[in-house]
Amino acid sequence: MSLVPPTDHFYLTWGERLRDPRNNRESWPGQTIELADDSMQLIAHLMQTQVLPAYYTRIETAADFLDLVLLKRTDPDHHVHFERGCCLIKLERFEEASHELAAAIKQYLEDGREWCFPKAAQCEQMLKAIAEGTALDLYEQWKAETIQNLKLEKIVSQKN
């Protein structure tokens, strides 16, 4: 998960599903409150001790993250184009970023769902910032926004 473009929710979209280590199934018991609570406690433990450390070890730099995003899908959707564009901004590869952002805008507008239009507007905002030479400033503003939205101030350095 990247901190830019701005988001107000957590998501991890790479790799396989987190399997229940008790039975190696992709689904987790949740038929009762007790079973659901037990499942969630184990999921939280696995996320903290295995999933997140392994995930973040793979993406120590912006270039590492871009490599992961480029491998993510051979048929990238609007979100992937937007993520790639933002990562390319961080790497100061503005021409490539512009292509990714333009592809994201096209797909958001073609998709046409209500939530797509604000995302397309954000892409347009970043394209404008590229043209004005302020893309890195907007990137940092969006990063700070996500950190605040997700209440990550205590665990994420603003300098990264």
With a cut of 60, say whether residue 160 has pLDDT above it: no
Closest of 9, 149, 129, 96 to residue 121, by C-alpha: 129
Task: Please state the rounded mean pLDDT for residues 82-100.
Answer: 94
With a cut of 60, say whether residue 159 has pLDDT above it: no
Spatial neighbors of 79 by CB under 8 A, at least 6 apart, are: 104, 119
Q: pLDDT value at position 7?
A: 72
With a cut of 60, say whether residue 14 has pLDDT above it: no
Contact status, residue 80 vs residue 73, Cβ threshold 8 Å: yes
Name the β-bridge partners of 25. Answer: 20
Tens digit of each residue's pLDDT (9 = 90 or more) over 42-86: 988 888 887 777 766 666 677 777 777 676 666 788 988 998 999
The continuous run of DSSP H or E covering 108 comes out as: helix 94-111
pTM to 2 decimal places:
0.69
Tens digit of each residue's pLDDT (9 = 90 or more) over 106-142: 999 999 999 999 999 999 999 999 999 999 999 999 9
Domains of the chain by residue range: 1-152
